[in-house]
Structures are given as structure tokens and as C-alpha cells.
Amino acid sequence: MRKLQTGFTLIEAVMVIAITGIIAAVVAVFIQAPVQGYFDSARRAELTDIADTAVRRISRDVHLALPNSVRLATPQVMEFLQTRTGGRYRVDGGDPLNFAQANPADTTFDVLGPAVTMATGDQIVIFNLGIPGADAYAGNNRRAYNGAVGAVTNIAITPAALPFPLNSPGRRFQVVDTPVTYICDVAAGTLTRFWGYAITAAQANPPVGGNNALLARNVSACNFTYTPGITARSGLVSMQLAITQNNETVSLYHAVHVSNAP
């Protein structure tokens, strides 16, 4: 007897392939939008995270800015002196800080209150108003620390031809280490932080020497503004940052209050 053979014919196989292709095409049309939406959402989240991380880093630095030290070379270049610590100085008894013109070579003074932790390269600034005669960038109210490293209760400073110009009403001194500069290069699409370079009277763009680190790429717009404030005891730094990638742009605006009470 002849055995019957079962299976698919060529026509049936072609029909199955064609029907499967049609179903796959229909499914692809329906899932294309959700999949594209997912990738768009993920890209926006990534861009937002990059911009948010950058402005938060700038905000943390600006909060530590020396009073009246924020300055702009252009709306894309901001510099300030960053304070590391500070304290109050003695004006009578013990070893006071002498402001008398007859004694400009005063090189030490006592710290009132807890000891202050000092490091190599620190600078002492007193009553920085950011004006001629009381400008830390010019150096007339800034002295280099030359004492021991660590916690100290007596501050040793380099001698100068003239004493500190102005006595702080609160008897406060600030300790700064190096300037910090943020530069937005929209042409290159970068936001860069510079630090560790020398303090100069004229603002350098870009700074010479020191270190730098890239904070963000794909920067399509960037702007810094600084408003000293009506009372001169506070200022406002405003930042606008836009990141663009694959025709997707995320823009952030952030404002930071700066204490300008020296």
C-alpha cells in the first residue's frame, strides 16, 4: 500500500510568510510611536541630568564665593574667589591685628574662638568690598599665609608695605585658596571649570595655569549674570544653560544668592 505524505506545500509556506510579514508590519506601525517616545524621554532625562548637575555644581561653588568677588569677563565667563574657611581676629589684648599706618609690618594676629585649619597656599582677606583700596584681586586687602599647616589659633601672614586698609566691623577674616572660573564655549559646545591658578588683578579669559575639568558637552546656549544687590549685603548670580542633542534641547534657569557681607 502507498503511504500518504503530509506537510506544507510551497504555496502554503509563501502565504504564511506573507501573512506574517503583514502582521509584523502592522505591529511595527503601532509600537513605533511608543518606542520612539521612550527613547525621546530617555534622551531628555539624560540631557536634563547633565544640565542640572552642571548648574548645581556651579551653585555650590558660588555659595562659597568671597564677598564681592564675583566678576564677569563676558556673559559666558564668570570668576570668583572661593573661601575655604574663616574666623574672627583680635583687635586688643594678646596679639591683635594692627591697622595703624605706623606699623605696617604686623605679621601675626590671634584668632578669636575656635582654631582655624590652614593649608599651604592659603590667602587671608579682610573686609573685601570689591572697590579700589579694598579689592582682594588687587591684593591690597589680601595677604599670603605663611604659618604652619593645620589647626592654628595664631595667623602668620607675609609682611607688606602697608597694613590692611579697612577694619572689618565684625572683625572677620576669610581664607581663600585659588580663584574659580566657569567658561561656556558655545562654539565648541562645552562648559568648563578652571581652578588652581594664580590670583590676578585683571580677569584672565581663559585663566593661565592651574587645572580644568569639563562639566558638560553639547552646550547650545549659556549665560551668566550678576546683580550685586541694592543693600550691598547680598548679590544674585543667574545662570541659563541649554544642552542640545539629536535636535532635542533642554534649557535650565537657576539663580543663586551670594552673601556680600564682608
User: Span 227-242, mean pLDDT?
Assistant: 83
Select the more confidently predicted residue: 18 or 39.
18
Q: Domain-by-domain residue ranges, the chain?
A: 43-80+179-259, 82-177
Using an 8 Å Cβ cutoff, are 163 and 99 in contact?
yes
pTM of the complete model: 0.83
Mean pLDDT, the chain, as a whole number?
88
Rounded-to-integer distance, Cα 148 and Cα 120, Å: 8
Segment 77-98, tens digit of pLDDT: 999 999 999 999 998 889 999 8
Q: Which three cell numbers stand for residue 97?
A: 591685628
**pLDDT digit string, tens, across residues 181-207:** 999 999 999 999 999 999 999 999 999
35 pLDDT higher than 70: no
Contacts of 255 (CB under 8 A, 6+ apart): 236, 237, 238, 239
Which of 14-23, 39-48, 52-61, 74-83 is predicted with the least confidence, judged by mean pLDDT? 39-48
Buried b (16+ CB within 10 A) or exposed e, 219-240: beebebebeeeeeeeebebebb
Whole-angstrom distance, CA of residue 239 vs CA of residue 250? 14
Q: What percent of the chain has pLDDT over 90?
A: 63
Q: Is 89 exposed, middle or buried (0-12, 13-18, 19+ CB in 10 A)?
A: buried
Residue 50 pLDDT: 87
